[in-house]
Amino acid sequence: MAYCASTYFYSRRLTREVVVGDPACGGVIIGGHHPVVVQSMITCDTMDTAACVQQTIDLVNAGCQMVRITAPTVNDAANLKNIAAELRKRGILVPLVADIHFKPEAALEAAKWVEKIRINPGNFADKKKFATREYTDAEYFAELERIEQQFAPLVKLCKELGRAMRIGTNHGSLSDRILNRYGDTPVGMVESALEFARIARNHGFHNFCFSMKASNPKIMIECYRLLVHKLEQLGPDWNYPVHLGVTEAGEGEDGRIKSAIGIGSLLCDGIGDTIRVSLTEDSPHEIPVCRELLASIPSLTQPAPHPLPEWNELPPSFDPFAFQRRKTTEIAIGTGGIPVLCGGEQTIRVVVTRSVYDATAPRIRPNDDVRPEAIYEELPLIAVDPREKFSVPDDKTFVTVKDGTNLPTIAAFRLLAARLTVKGKSNPILLKDCLEPPAKPIKSETALLQSATVIGSLLADGIGDAILIRLEQDPISSLRLAYNILQAAGCRSFKTDYVACPSCGRTLFNLQTVTAKIKARTEHLKGVKIAVMGCIVNGPGEMADADFGYVGGAPGKVNLYVGKKPVRFNIPEAEAVDCLVDLIKEHGKWRDPEK
């Protein structure tokens, strides 16, 4: 089953155009042959017109091309009129997008004033109660009729006013109806979106795009691949554009790495027409990351290889819609005479160059989790050009792609894995973030995004048993980046994992401040996953694989979760971090930080 033209050649997916506003007066066109559109979201109270206007201006000055504003109530939606009027009066013509959850009537009001409406199929016409029940076919289709009754008025209004729409499914907020029929799966996410798309099409409305967001990059990648595949199956007139994003990515390096894995890998496969990098930081910080990521794609997808019949049509070694690590033979590698096992059921290993090892080894303490595990120049390694005929002595031979191979790095390793599979070989593979180390240092931000895109994309394919980072040339940063990529890709856990939403007008506390407080108390808890959510829209769902959750329940009040189950309610914000620590202790996940 295909999700892109080729897993070895870059070819951008051609979609229909979705028009947001008047392109002659500041509007944008999503899809077609147009450049990928960069967007973000303001974080202030929608009823605070002055703050909304200023934050929108700040985003536009940073290079944002579309600005989303939450509209949790009809009053908020009505105030979009004032926000839009003030922006237009100041000559700011950027298209505005109303973010709607739970309130169809708010969507109808917002459509009068803004250029685009984002609706979430999981909660537009459904209340999420995590209820378990069996639906007969008759009951299920009756629910769809009820949804159409609530959704059709918005579709008709958007068509009448020339508005655009995003049908935006979130992994954390699928409806109980979808969860009971399809489970918490990519199939469920795709079907949730298609239900609403069919209603729109039934009313002759096509000016919409899709999104499939999740906080786990692997799940996000699988969902978008499956969506595009389903759209291809439905027919050529289902060629709607898609918006890419890893939701609740977090902050700092972790947020950027997660976003690069999810967004970057799909862009390299030609998928994506508009993007947002969701960081728990001030919104303008997201825009340079988007720009840097987009600027990296040409270099990561070139040069385009010449078609060679021997391998051009090779099936991929991985299932694009369900993650499974490639089966390999276990071998021994290691540094300084210390054996380290690699491949098989072993965790993904971190290999470094001799220069990185010499610079970092003296700083490593006996109990440090972040450490070099093998030296590249000393590995028993065969490097091959996967376009040419090659042979390996046996399955215990460590294999990588030869430096200087004139292929995009992702394509080269996919080709290597595919050719080994065809040969019936289970050799472990060493992944590299580049096939030609940079002649002179590149910016750390660029190195981080490119390394995460390349290595993360291949790990999400299930390819790779060890990784080597060479784009980041600072030794300490290079070693740390390798481990951070493995953590973000869900391949290895060496520190606390945080899922943190990027804040918006629905947020009930200062996310940046609270996240910093929680990290200060818990960042030593290796292997523990903590979710920090500003409200309940995606909170319980996105926390399904988190150990603990800290969620805004009301102004100044916090609810605490274990997994997706709420266990403490309405805790005063001043006490909530202490209560979270107590909860972690109660469940045996606490240990005191090392001195």
Average pLDDT, the chain: 92
Q: How confident is the model at residue 306 (pLDDT cuts 50, 70, 90)?
A: low
* Structural domain spans, the chain: 17-242, 314-488, 497-586
Q: Check whether 199 has a pLDDT greater than 60.
A: yes
Q: How confident is the model at residue 553 (pLDDT cuts 50, 70, 90)?
A: confident
- Residues contacting residue 324 through CB under 8 Å, at least 6 positions apart: 318, 462
199: tokens are 């209603």
Residue type, 340: V
Q: Check whether 412 has a pLDDT greater than 90.
A: yes
Residue whose pair of structure tokens reads 């048993």 in the numeric block: 465
546 vs 51, 120, 180, 550, 575, CA distance in Å?
33, 22, 21, 11, 21
Question: Strand 466-468 to strand 349-352: parallel, antiparallel, or no bridges (unpaired)?
Answer: parallel
- Please tell me the predicted confidence (pLDDT) of residue 499: 84
Question: What CATH homologous superfamily does 17-242 map to?
Answer: Dihydropteroate synthase-like (3.20.20.20)
Q: Check whether 392 has a pLDDT greater than 70.
A: yes
CA distance 561 to 432: 39
Question: What are the start-end ranges of the H helices in 316-388?
Answer: 354-360
Provide the whole-model pTM: 0.94
425: tokens are 């070989």
- Please tell me the predicted confidence (pLDDT) of residue 537: 64
Q: Check whether 128 has a pLDDT greater than 70.
A: no
Q: How confident is the model at residue 146 (pLDDT cuts 50, 70, 90)?
A: very high
- Please tell me the predicted confidence (pLDDT) of residue 589: 93
Per-residue model confidence as pLDDT tens digits over 252-281: 999 999 999 999 999 999 999 999 999 989
- Please tell me the predicted confidence (pLDDT) of residue 183: 87
Per-residue model confidence as pLDDT tens digits over 436-450: 999 898 999 999 999
- Please tell me the predicted confidence (pLDDT) of residue 538: 57
Residue whose pair of structure tokens reads 């060496």 in the numeric block: 494
- Please tell me the predicted confidence (pLDDT) of residue 140: 85
Domain 497-586, CATH: 3.30.413.10
Q: Check whether 312 has a pLDDT greater than 90.
A: no
- Please tell me the predicted confidence (pLDDT) of residue 193: 97
Per-residue model confidence as pLDDT tens digits over 497-538: 888 877 787 777 888 898 899 999 999 998 899 988 877 665
Q: Check whether 595 has a pLDDT greater than 90.
A: no
- Please tell me the predicted confidence (pLDDT) of residue 539: 55
155: tokens are 């579709």
Count, in order, helices (H) and strands (E) of the chain: 18, 23
The lowest-confidence range among 10-24, 170-184, 202-216 is 170-184
- Residues contacting residue 295 through CB under 8 Å, at least 6 positions apart: none
Residue whose pair of structure tokens reads 């984002």 in the numeric block: 118
Dihedral angle at the C-alpha atoms of 98, 102, 105, 108, nearest 10 degrees?
A: 30
The pLDDT of 229-248, averaged and rounded, is: 96
